[in-house]
Amino acid sequence: MTETEENLIERNLGPQPLDSLMTEAGLDNHALVSASSEPMTHKAVQRARKGRRLTTHMQRRMATALNKALTIHGTPPEREWTMKDLFTY
């Protein structure tokens, strides 16, 4: 295995809890992008769902956008989801 392949393996951490929460709620990537009041791209949401490492700041944005998107789509969370709930790294 080359050094490049090892780096890719370390960054790909598999589907995150964020992905299953979004699937259960029937939310797509666009729901988070449109709910976010801060800059966020569809590509960033896809990376978050698949387990690519994100910065702490972007993880916070994802958590905030998810909570807002759930409220907008009529399924307000019983509690606020945090970064630790959504990501396993």
When pLDDT is cut at 50, 70 and 90, the band that residue 5 belongs to is low
pLDDT at 13 over 60: yes
Model pLDDT, residue 77: 80
Buried b (16+ CB within 10 A) or exposed e, 7-31: eeeeeeeeebebbebbeeeebebeb
Q: Given pLDDT bands bounded at 50, 70 and 90, which one contains residue 4? A: low
| pLDDT digits 0-9 by tens, 34-70 | 999 999 999 999 999 999 999 999 999 999 999 999 9
pLDDT at 66: 97
* pTM of the entire predicted model: 0.85
**15 pLDDT more than 80:** yes
Are 34 and 41 in contact by the 8 Å Cβ rule? The answer is: no
